[in-house]
Structure 1
């Protein structure tokens, strides 16, 4: 259950609606998802988040599928169900196969286990790994 209202187009102010329109145009869709609608109560935060997301997720040294898969891994580690579902869908839309998804989930699970073990055991970082 949302802790803030998910603003419809009719309820969103002009600033938020302008961001919604930009989302629609850049994503070539009529749909604005709930994450953006939840941020619409704070138009400055909505705009800043949308603008930063476009920069970070744009093609660069990492291709867009890799970025979606990293986003999915971090979202899983952070326990964000919304982002797990949203970025799984985005990764699949960018070509993630079922085999890749399965391997990604295995890596996430393995990293979670070994991170917990290293943390609880207080394993010091090897000197050769220090940058």
Structure 2
């Protein structure tokens, strides 16, 4: 992993998405969401959780706008039992997944890859649905994403098992920015006029 500099928000944004989605997958599994037998807690809506109603309303509005669905996804309805946790997790979702240096669709691809790696049926379904609705992702691309995840899980397993050091541990993001010694290795970076 490249060491971050002030110029490299993209790496930080991807890391934020990965950390956030990893935590969501743990919570969904812990609450039994996405398993065949149903969740381990009742799913609440605005009427059943008045202290969570404002946050649930925001989530419902997001679901209508992004998924053309009037419902609130199960995960958020389960968290409604704890209004502060629901609000904090929803705010983190909006911050981590909002467009920044990287746009929302690319972040959702990363989120799907993390969900696949974590083997979270619920979040795989959720992010697939978002990508199909937002980016018109087809079956071919879904299989391609799964193939990339499979490939890098294999590489990471081998590298970890062989205790290999990262080959680029000495590099920083500043090595790749315009004017950096390795700028020519990054597609899309505008080359400096040196």
Whether these two folds match at TM > 0.5 is yes
Number of equivalenced pairs = 129
Q: Normalising by the residue count of structure 1, what TM-score does the alignment of the two structures yield? A: 0.88
2:63·2:72 contact (CA, 8 Å) conserved in 1?
no
Unaligned 5+ runs, structure 1: none
Unaligned 5+ runs, structure 2: 1-37, 172-194
Counterpart among 57, 61, 69 of residue 109 in structure 2: 69
1:64·1:94 contact (CA, 8 Å) conserved in 2?
no
Moved more, 37-46 or 89-98: 89-98
Aligned: 1:104 with 2:104? no
Give, in angstroms, the shift of residue 25 of structure 1: 2.4
RMSD of aligned Cα (Å): 1.6
Structure 1 or 2: more helix by fraction? 1
Deviations 1:97-128 (A, max 9, x none): 333222111100101111111111111222x3
In 2 relative to 1, CA 112–40 (structure 1 residues): closer, same or farther, beyond 3 Å?
A: same
Higher relative contact order at CA 8 Å, sep ≥6: structure 1 or structure 2? 2
Q: Normalising by the residue count of structure 2, what TM-score does the alignment of the two structures yield? A: 0.61
Measured in 1, the distance between the counterparts of 2:62 and 2:39 equals 26
